[in-house]
Amino acid sequence: MKHLIFADESSTDKLRYMFIGGIWIDEPTYLQVLEECKNFKKDNNWDEQTKFNWKNVSKKTLPQYCKFIDIFFKYNLQFNCIIIDRTEIELKANELKDPELGFYKFYYQLLRKNSVPNIPYYIYLDRRTNREPNRLERLKSFLKQDTHPRNFMGFRTTKKGLDIKALEFVNSKSHELIQFSDILMGAISYHYNKRNLRPGASQNKCELAQYIANKINRSDLVFNTGKNGYKNLNLWLFKSNKELVIK
């Protein structure tokens, strides 16, 4: 069965925690979700091209955003996210001193750890400008390669590469699944980076972030499920050998 991944990144500026995350979904469910989103916009008299975006959460849009995120939970969608702590990890700390390469190494970790061989994947990333034009082709080639980690006895084993049918940039305005990712990461970032505690924090964004936390029976969105997390929200704080402590 064909599977799709819709991914995005958040808080790529100077905040402590940066996020790369996406939604893993099979094609039949994807088609159902698309139809649901289409009907949702129609029922609210919104244009089909209306884009849901964390930065546009306001008093006026909050009720619709809560209902929109309800669709994510209704279909029990899987959201996987890798969290990078800038105080512990320097993106350009690699052999080429290239932060863009460091960024895509984390994209590799996210996609590889949360996908399985022998399933055809079609991966769509929110469009971004790269210094090197061949980043996606290189990422695709590495995802498809077999790896040879050592097992607990020290012997080399083989992990089969992924079956990547497509890996491309798209405009998130036309992809509601990327919009789900944008909202979820915006909410998670709001809690992880303690923006909800700042003077003048947006009350509406605080309410939406808390609404999402309540959906999974948590008091907040600051938690770490590790690389082998669970539905609906798998938040993998990339270690560091330190415990998860938010200072």
Which residues have a Cβ under 8 Å from the Cβ of 154 and sit 6 or more positions away? none
What pLDDT is attached to residue 92?
Answer: 56
What pLDDT is attached to residue 245?
Answer: 36
Alpha-carbon 180 to chain mean position: 9
Which residues have a Cβ under 8 Å from the Cβ of 208 and sit 6 or more positions away? 57, 62, 65, 66, 69, 183, 187
Domain ranges within the chain, ordered by starting residue? 3-237
**How far is the CA of 227 from the CAs of 83, 108, 131, in angstroms?**
10, 13, 29
Look up residue 162 and give its amino acid: L
Cβ–Cβ contacts within 10 Å for residue 47, how many?
A: 8
pTM to 2 decimals? 0.89
What pLDDT is attached to residue 246?
Answer: 33
What pLDDT is attached to residue 100?
Answer: 78
Look up residue 144 and give its amino acid: K
Q: What is the pLDDT along the chain (247 residues), one digit of tens a residue?
A: 999 999 999 987 778 999 999 999 999 999 999 999 999 999 988 887 888 999 999 999 999 999 999 999 999 999 999 999 988 876 655 545 677 787 888 999 999 999 999 999 999 999 887 777 788 999 999 999 987 667 666 666 677 899 999 999 998 988 999 999 999 999 999 999 999 999 999 999 999 999 999 999 999 999 999 765 566 899 999 875 444 333 3
**How far is the CA of 212 from the CAs of 57, 98, 135, 215, 238, in angstroms?**
14, 35, 33, 5, 22
CA distance 85 to 19: 9
CATH 3.30.420.10 corresponds to the domain 3-237: yes
What pLDDT is attached to residue 25?
Answer: 98
